[in-house]
Chain A
């Protein structure tokens, strides 16, 4: 599979495909019905000059839509996870476990905590799905 630009529309489409292929996610996310926003903060020195938002319409174990938009669009979601570009890259490259990252404050989470904790397995699988998407990183 050809590598796609990180956090681009092509990346979002491949990410969505991976989520919908995952039986683990489908099982773990039963009952989930909220939109999740990922805010990827700009790091101009790493050739990622503008913040982007990933808006994920996740419903009952299915990714109905995953789209790239503005950071503000992502911030308007029910659950929002915010981190600089390089942190997200670490997550996607399995250098940073997302759960650990949240406990350390490296990934900032906004939303109802008990709900997020109830779906820890689903969020871990979402992270796994990002690692399966071949990415061309702008700082490499």
Chain B
């Protein structure tokens, strides 16, 4: 597979870098690695990655550790800690952060907050166990980031895959 698309993909995949190099936190490496793997394997996630420009903080409350994901139109720089100038900051415990990665993506690429996983996430927001700062005016960014985090495929993609299966 050496078509033009694959070449472009290879360049994009290598575009995740760690501002702190070898000192990048395990959490930062995990998030960066997750996004990298998602972008590598799913075309629709790559499209999100290429057009996303935002600084997103993720703070895990029960380990008191955060990272800042600086998305720059197809390039991601992962910083240890919460850096200034963030558009969005997500604060939750470790389990909830992992759960965010399991949010299903519905039709038209919208995160599905109506199924059991989505409802649990919404319930945690209502109980204050999941806090999202900067949501006002950044809903589109949140949806893009959720799609990049999510290890679930979009319903559109799944349907297309099902149809093409023998």
Task: Please report A residues at the B interface, Cβ cutoff 8 Å.
Answer: 97, 99-100, 102-106, 108-109, 112-115, 117-118, 120, 124
Contact = CB atoms under 8 A, between A and B. Distances in A.
Contacts of B101: 114, 117, 120
B22 interface: no
A117 B99 CA distance: 8
A115 to B, nearest CB: 8
B125 interface: no
Interface SS of chain A: helix
Given A103-B65, A104-B26, A105-B26, A117 B94 contact: no
Contact of A103 (B30, B37, B41): B30
B94 A113 contact: no
Interface of B: 25-27, 29-30, 33-34, 37-38, 41, 60, 62-63, 65, 94-95, 97-99, 101-102, 151-152
Which of A103, A104, A105, A112 gathers most chain B CB within 10 Å?
Answer: A103
Contacts of A105: 25-27, 29
A113 to B, nearest CB: 5
A113 B33 contact: yes
A105 B29 CA distance: 9
Given A112-B37, A113-B30, A114-B41, A100 B151 contact: no
Contacts of A124: 95
Contacts, number: 58
B26 A102 contact: yes
B37 A100 contact: no
A105 B94 CA distance: 13
A113 B30 CA distance: 8
Contact of A118 (B26, B65, B102): B102
**8 closest A-B pairs by CB:** A105-B26, A114-B151, A103-B27, A100-B94, A117-B101, A113-B34, A120-B98, A118-B151
25 contacts: A97-B94, A97-B95, A99-B94, A99-B95, A100-B62, A102-B30, A103-B26, A103-B27, A103-B30, A103-B65, A103-B94, A103-B97, A104-B63, A104-B65, A108-B26, A109-B30, A113-B33, A113-B37, A114-B37, A114-B41, A114-B101, A114-B151, A115-B151, A117-B102, A118-B102
| Of A97, A106, A124, most B-chain CB atoms within 10 Å | A97
